């Protein structure tokens, strides 16, 4: 147990994200100063704005779908699979689920469950294509999911037309799927008083997904095989793991979770898939999964941080500061967090070698830092 | 083209080492020439069968060329980087930086300054990627994703800070670039070719239309982009520097043992890669339009990456892949019946590939290809037109099909994407 709860070890793994955040903040301050804005008032405005109850609800809601998206990406990461296609998977899944929910007249709860299952199935099917291509045809999942993203954009554009799946939204020139009936909606939870709006009811699903992800990875044979295959494919094969099957199953799971990404928004707020349904959440998920190191709790913090940056920056445009400063912070965070993890890893390697040296009573200094690198 | 003549797909079949020498070069030239003639013949047949005259019209060809250039430049950037062993998914971000640089410098100091700025901005993105992946051995794809986020945020931020309030500019767009960059035509061929094209003769008019599209009204950036292909081929495959660069992509440890500075070589390659993506951005901001606009790249960096893989990490096939994407883009933009005719083209090609596979006794692949070909043909026959929204997906579906059917023939540089640190082999 010492390995897991060693305070030094925990400290070291916290150093990297903290360092990275500080570094990203420094970059943001420099950019603001150079372009003639006051960093102090910018930060104060963001903090003040995020202290309002309404903003806090928005932060939690945004974090909900960011979390789902990041877990979907993380499942792939655990297996060394890079599911860039979460974006296409959740949009297609949300569209089909919305169409089903709007057109099928089933009693409330059944309808909700049906929509969720349809979304998971569509997401899994879409990512499964990439999984099968990877397992049996050796096609890099990075490329195939990029292609599938583009294809799903085209399919959505095709389906989301009046006469196909879409109807004119009343009182605007937006079009969307037929609204989900009253009974098929999930009400919000009044988590924060005086906010004037509620937290997504489907935050429960996000929590369940997080718990499920954690249990799956750490408490099941499948999770063990998954991590083993991700760690070393040859070792996994030697211990009897069917790697091709694992590739496909991991991709299917990732896609199924990706299918859920649009659900809190769909069933909890917009009730229909329209032209202004949020896009690009899949790419955010990649960044957050990296930030949280694929750990279920780490991802939660990452999602909250990302949502905080996104929502609290909404005030900035009103104050004349381009709110894209936040995107710069986010990009810098991703880059610096991985660099920080690498530096910490190198430091830890040297330290471990030194400890081994000490314990054996031999050379106190490791022979060469550089030999530790091959991953 | 790869689909038409599978024999030419891989210049280096497994187990048969390449034989440098005149005979080999002549054979390659002949097969390429045959492939081109075959493709034009096929286009003529499809044009005659479907009556879609747009397929080989000079306008369509010239639009295809213009649309292929940004994709080709991103792909060429990817080629430089991946041949040196660094996977570059940040091409999209570097291209975004390129479009912004072109707009920003272009509206102040003219289009040529815009081009230079685009190259510099793209190269800065490349340098960032190089530092992260080569110096800090960060996962290449992670770094690329971060650069894409960063480039988007930085350009949006800078646009708001610098373009808002300028004349003709807004928070999402730069002021227009004046004057127009101008272009180039091979003198004395436009009118004769146009008159031949008008007759609609089988094959001859098609050749005339294609030539007129390729040789007249070229923007300077298109011309530069075309010249960059032989230049890249020459540098990477015919110079000592190129050999070293490729050796870093195949086996950095071996390269190091021969005294090559692997870090420096890789960094140069990735910076060049960024610069080339910048040229692609400039083509969008200076040739396809005359301003920077948010979202102008529209994912072309990713498509360039796909074109490069499609092209098996080689310049010639990369050009062919970019041309395919550009061609279907152009037909889609021009609308009409030509996209529908493209279905017939795809059907014929896929069926030919299927027959070829059966002839080579690859029964499963052959049957899959035949079935998909017949399915496309059936769709062509029963439908009058392709829904506009779906035609956009055609190049992506094609890429997926090619990857699914031919991925075993593709070979990426052996150490592509792997972390390397100095001395790791000892």
Question: Rounded to an integer, what distance in angstroms lies between the CA atom of residue A141 and that of residue B222?
Answer: 32
Using the Cα atoms of residue B144, residue B149, residue B152 and residue B158 in order, give the sign of their dihedral.
negative
Dihedral of the alpha carbons of A350, A352, A354, A355, in degrees to the nearest 10: 170
Is residue A15 less than 8 Å (CB to CB) from chain B? no
| ipTM of the complex as predicted | 0.82
Residues B355, B266 share a domain: no
Out of B334, B349, B379, a domain closes at B334
Cβ-based contacts of A330 with chain B (< 8 Å): 149, 153
Residue range B130-164, pLDDT digits in tens:
999 999 988 898 899 889 989 999 999 999 888 88
Residues B105, B82 share a domain: yes
Of the two residues A352 and B280, the one the predictor is more confident about is B280
**Is the model's pLDDT at B7 over the cut of 50?**
no
Question: Rounded to an integer, what distance in angstroms lies between the CA atom of residue B193 and that of residue B201?
Answer: 12
The alpha-carbon gap from A325 to the nearest alpha carbon of chain B, in Å, equals 6
Using the Cα atoms of residue A306, residue A309, residue A312 and residue A318 in order, give the sign of their dihedral.
negative
Question: Rounded to an integer, what distance in angstroms lies between the CA atom of residue B98 and that of residue B121?
Answer: 6
Judged by CB atoms closer than 8 Å, whether chains meet at A327 and B139 is answered as no
Judged by CB atoms closer than 8 Å, whether chains meet at B145 and A373 is answered as no
Q: Give the mean pLDDT of A136-156.
A: 88
B164 in a structural domain: yes
pLDDT-derived band at A2 (thresholds 50, 70, 90) equals very low
The alpha-carbon gap from A61 to the nearest alpha carbon of chain B, in Å, equals 22
Identify the residue among A39, A148, A328, A371 best suited for mutation to test binding to B, counting B beta carbons within 10 A and taking the highest.
A328
Residues B59, B198 share a domain: yes
H-type helices in B110-139, by residue range? 111-130
Angle between helices B58-83 and B204-215 (to 10 degrees): 60
Question: Rounded to an integer, what distance in angstroms lies between the CA atom of residue A242 and that of residue B236?
Answer: 40
Nearest to B230 by CA among B238, B220, B221: B238
Q: CA separation (Å) from B293 to A143, A323, B103, B119?
A: 26, 18, 8, 17
Which two three-digit tokens encode residue B117?
């700025």
Contact (Cβ atoms closer than 8 angstroms) between residue A225 and residue A44: no
Judged by CB atoms closer than 8 Å, whether chains meet at B393 and A150 is answered as yes
Residues B363, B322 share a domain: no
Is residue A373 less than 8 Å (CB to CB) from chain B? yes
Q: Give the mean pLDDT of A87-110.
A: 89
Q: Collapse the DSSP code of A167 into the 3-class scheme (helix H, G, I; strand E, B; otherwise coil) and give the result.
A: strand
Is residue A275 less than 8 Å (CB to CB) from chain B? no
Q: What does the mean pLDDT of chain A come to?
A: 86
Judged by CB atoms closer than 8 Å, whether chains meet at A157 and B392 is answered as yes
H-type helices in chain A, by residue range? 2-5, 7-34, 39-50, 53-78, 86-103, 108-137, 141-159, 203-219, 221-231, 233-238, 243-260, 263-265, 281-291, 296-312, 325-360
B414 in a structural domain: no
pLDDT-derived band at A4 (thresholds 50, 70, 90) equals low
Question: Rounded to an integer, what distance in angstroms lies between the CA atom of residue B284 and that of residue B289?
Answer: 6
Out of B272, B301, B334, a domain closes at B334
The total number of structural domains that make up chain B: 2
pLDDT-derived band at B408 (thresholds 50, 70, 90) equals low
**Is the model's pLDDT at B4 over the cut of 50?**
no
Residue range A268-283, pLDDT digits in tens:
888 889 888 888 898 8
Nearest to A146 by CA among A121, A132, A119, A126: A126
Residue pointed to by tokens 């294809």: A151
Please name the residues in contact with B356: beta carbons below 8 A apart, sequence gap of 6 or more.
B6, B366
Cβ-based contacts of A287 with chain B (< 8 Å): 145-146, 149
Residue range B343-394, pLDDT digits in tens:
788 888 888 888 888 888 888 878 888 888 898 888 888 887 777 777 777 7
Residues B255, B206 share a domain: yes
**Is the model's pLDDT at B13 over the cut of 80?**
no
The domain that contains B156 carries what CATH number?
Answer: 1.10.3470
Lowest-confidence region among A25-29, A124-128, B5-9, B51-55:
B5-9
Judged by CB atoms closer than 8 Å, whether chains meet at B390 and A155 is answered as yes
Cβ-based contacts of A290 with chain B (< 8 Å): 142
Cβ-based contacts of A283 with chain B (< 8 Å): 145, 148-149
Question: Please, what's the b/e burial string for A36-60 (b: 16 or more CB within 10 A of its CB; e: otherwise)?
Answer: ebebeebeebbeebbebeebbbbbb
Judged by CB atoms closer than 8 Å, whether chains meet at B389 and A148 is answered as no
The percentage of residues in chain B with a pLDDT greater than 70, rounded to a whole number, is: 92
Residues B172, B294 share a domain: yes
Residue pointed to by tokens 């640190």: B421
Q: How far is CA A46 from the centre of its chain?
A: 23
Residues B355, B295 share a domain: no
The alpha-carbon gap from B185 to the nearest alpha carbon of chain A, in Å, equals 35
Residue range B189-219, pLDDT digits in tens:
777 777 777 777 777 788 888 888 788 778 8
Strand pairing report for A175-177 and B183-184: unpaired
Q: Collapse the DSSP code of B386 into the 3-class scheme (helix H, G, I; strand E, B; otherwise coil) and give the result.
A: coil
B347 in a structural domain: yes
Q: Give the mean pLDDT of A30-41.
A: 88
Cβ-based contacts of B150 with chain A (< 8 Å): 327-328, 331-332, 335
Q: Which pLDDT score is estimated for B35?
A: 82
Out of B303, B334, B365, a domain closes at B334
Judged by CB atoms closer than 8 Å, whether chains meet at B393 and A334 is answered as no
Lowest-confidence region among A147-151, B4-8, B147-151:
B4-8
Residues B172, B255 share a domain: yes
Please name the residues in contact with B219: beta carbons below 8 A apart, sequence gap of 6 or more.
B66, B181, B182, B183, B184, B283, B286, B287
Q: What is the DSSP string of A77-111?
A: HHTT---TTHHHHHHHHHHHHHHHHHH----HHHH
Residue range B78-98, pLDDT digits in tens:
999 999 999 999 999 999 999
Which of B137, B150, B424 shows the shortest C-beta gap to A328? B150
Cβ-based contacts of B357 with chain A (< 8 Å): none
Q: What is the 3-state secondary structure (H, E, C) of A258-276?
A: HHHCCHHHHHHHHCCCECC
Q: How far is CA A87 from the centre of its chain?
A: 10
B6 in a structural domain: no
- Apex A79 CA angle, A76 and A81, nearest 5: 50
Which of A158, A325, A374 shows the shortest C-beta gap to B157? A325
**Is the model's pLDDT at B123 over the cut of 90?**
yes
Lowest-confidence region among A81-85, A145-149, A184-188:
A184-188
Judged by CB atoms closer than 8 Å, whether chains meet at B150 and A143 is answered as no
Judged by CB atoms closer than 8 Å, whether chains meet at B161 and A373 is answered as no
pLDDT-derived band at B2 (thresholds 50, 70, 90) equals very low
Judged by CB atoms closer than 8 Å, whether chains meet at A154 and B390 is answered as yes
B257 in a structural domain: yes
CA-based nearest residue in chain A for residue B143: A335
B267 in a structural domain: yes
Residues B150, B121 share a domain: yes
Residue pointed to by tokens 């099917």: A125
Structural domain boundaries, residue B387? 335-407
Residues B355, B207 share a domain: no
Of the two residues B418 and B269, the one the predictor is more confident about is B269
B415 in a structural domain: no
Is residue A331 less than 8 Å (CB to CB) from chain B? yes
Identify the residue among B396, B398, B424 best suited for mutation to test binding to A, counting A beta carbons within 10 A and taking the highest.
B396
Residues B266, B356 share a domain: no
Is residue A10 less than 8 Å (CB to CB) from chain B? no
Using the Cα atoms of residue B398, residue B401, residue B406 and residue B407 in order, give the sign of their dihedral.
positive
Cβ-based contacts of A338 with chain B (< 8 Å): 132, 136, 138-139, 142-143, 146
Residues B204, B352 share a domain: no
Is residue A150 less than 8 Å (CB to CB) from chain B? yes
Residue range A197-247, pLDDT digits in tens:
888 888 999 999 999 999 999 999 989 988 888 888 888 888 888 889 999
Q: Give the mean pLDDT of B36-44.
A: 82
Which two three-digit tokens encode residue A198?
């509620």
CA-based nearest residue in chain A for residue B306: A143
B390 in a structural domain: yes
Is residue A20 less than 8 Å (CB to CB) from chain B? no
Judged by CB atoms closer than 8 Å, whether chains meet at A335 and B420 is answered as no
């Amino acid at each position: 147990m010492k390995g897991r709860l060693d305070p030094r070890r925990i400290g070291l793994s916290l150093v990297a994200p903290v360092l990275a955040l500080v570094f990203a903040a420094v970059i943001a301050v420099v950019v603001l100063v150079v372009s003639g804005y006051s960093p102090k008032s910018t930060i104060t405005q963001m903090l003040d704005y995020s202290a309002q109850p309404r903003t806090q609800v928005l932060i939690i809601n945004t974090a909900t779908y960011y979390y789902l998206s990041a877990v979907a990406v993380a499942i792939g990461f655990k297996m060394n699979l890079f599911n860039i296609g979460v974006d296409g998977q959740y949009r297609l899944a949300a569209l089909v689920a919305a169409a089903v929910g709007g057109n099928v007249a089933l009693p409330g709860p059944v309808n909700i469950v049906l929509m969720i299952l349809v979304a998971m199935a569509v997401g899994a099917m879409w990512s499964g294509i990439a999984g099968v291509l990877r397992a049996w045809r050796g096609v890099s999942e990075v490329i195939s999911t990029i292609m599938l993203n583009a294809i799903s954009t085209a399919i959505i554009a095709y389906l989301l037309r009046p006469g196909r799946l879409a109807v004119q939204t009343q009182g605007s020139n937006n079009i969307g799927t037929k609204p989900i009936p009253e009974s098929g909606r999930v009400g919000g939870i009044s988590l924060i008083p005086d906010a004037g709006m509620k937290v997504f009811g489907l935050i429960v699903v996000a929590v369940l997904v997080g718990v499920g992800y954690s249990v799956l990875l750490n408490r099941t044979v499948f999770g063990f095989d998954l991590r083993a295959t991700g760690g070393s494919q040859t070792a996994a094969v030697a211990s009897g793991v069917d790697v091709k099957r694992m590739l496909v199953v991991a991709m299917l799971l990732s896609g199924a979770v990706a299918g859920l990404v649009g659900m809190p928004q769909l069933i909890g707020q917009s009730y229909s898939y329209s032209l202004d349904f949020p896009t690009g959440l899949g790419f955010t998920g990649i960044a957050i999964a990296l930030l949280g190191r694929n750990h279920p709790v780490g991802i939660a913090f990452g999602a909250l941080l990302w949502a905080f940056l996104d929502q609290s920056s909404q005030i900035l445009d009103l104050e004349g500061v381009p709110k894209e400063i936040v995107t710069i912070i986010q990009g810098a965070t991703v880059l610096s967090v991985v660099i920080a993890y690498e530096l910490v890893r190198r430091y830890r390697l040297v330290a471990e070698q030194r400890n081994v040296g000490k314990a054996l009573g031999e050379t106190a200094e490791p022979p060469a830092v550089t030999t530790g690198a091959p991953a | 083209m790869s689909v038409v003549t599978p024999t030419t797909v891989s210049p280096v079949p497994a187990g048969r080492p390449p034989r440098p020498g005149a005979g080999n070069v002549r054979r390659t030239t002949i097969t390429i020439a045959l492939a081109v003639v075959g493709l034009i013949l096929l286009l003529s047949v499809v044009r005659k069968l479907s009556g879609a005259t747009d397929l080989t019209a000079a306008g369509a060809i010239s639009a295809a060329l213009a649309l292929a250039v940004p994709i080709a430049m991103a792909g060429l950037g990817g080629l430089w980087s991946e041949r040196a062993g660094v996977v570059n998914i940040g091409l999209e971000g570097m291209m975004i930086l390129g479009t912004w640089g072109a707009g920003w410098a272009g509206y102040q100091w003219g289009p040529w300054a815009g081009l230079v700025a685009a190259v510099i901005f793209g190269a800065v993105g490349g340098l960032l990627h190089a530092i992260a992946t080569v110096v800090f051995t960060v996962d290449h794809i992670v770094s690329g994703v971060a650069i894409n986020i960063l480039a988007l945020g930085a350009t949006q931020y800078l646009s708001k800070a610098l373009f808002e309030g300028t004349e003709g500019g807004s928070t999402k767009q730069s002021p227009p670039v004046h004057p127009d960059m101008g272009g180039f035509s091979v003198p004395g061929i436009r009118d004769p070719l146009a008159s031949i094209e008008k007759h609609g003769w089988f094959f001859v008019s098609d050749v005339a239309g294609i030539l007129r599209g390729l040789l007249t009204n070229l923007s300077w950036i298109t011309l530069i982009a075309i010249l960059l292909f032989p230049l890249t081929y020459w540098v990477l495959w015919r110079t000592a520097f190129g050999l070293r660069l490729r050796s870093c992509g195949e086996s950095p440890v071996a390269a190091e043992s021969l005294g090559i500075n692997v870090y420096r070589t890789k960094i140069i390659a990735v910076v060049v890669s960024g610069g080339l993506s910048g040229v692609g951005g400039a083509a969008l901001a200076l040739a396809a339009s005359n301003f920077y606009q948010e979202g102008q790249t529209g994912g072309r960096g990713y498509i360039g990456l796909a074109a490069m893989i499609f092209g098996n990490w080689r310049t010639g096939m990369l050009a062919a892949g970019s041309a395919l994407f550009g061609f279907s883009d152009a037909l889609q933009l021009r609308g009409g019946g030509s996209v529908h005719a493209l279905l017939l083209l795809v059907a014929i090609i896929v069926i030919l590939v299927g027959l070829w596979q059966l002839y080579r006794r690859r029964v499963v692949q052959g049957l899959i290809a035949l079935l998909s070909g017949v399915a496309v043909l059936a769709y062509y026959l029963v439908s009058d037109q392709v829904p506009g929204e779906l035609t956009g997906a055609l190049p992506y579906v094609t890429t997926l099909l090619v990857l699914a059917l031919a991925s075993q023939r593709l070979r990426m540089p052996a150490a592509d994407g792997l972390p390397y640190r100095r001395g790791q082999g000892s």
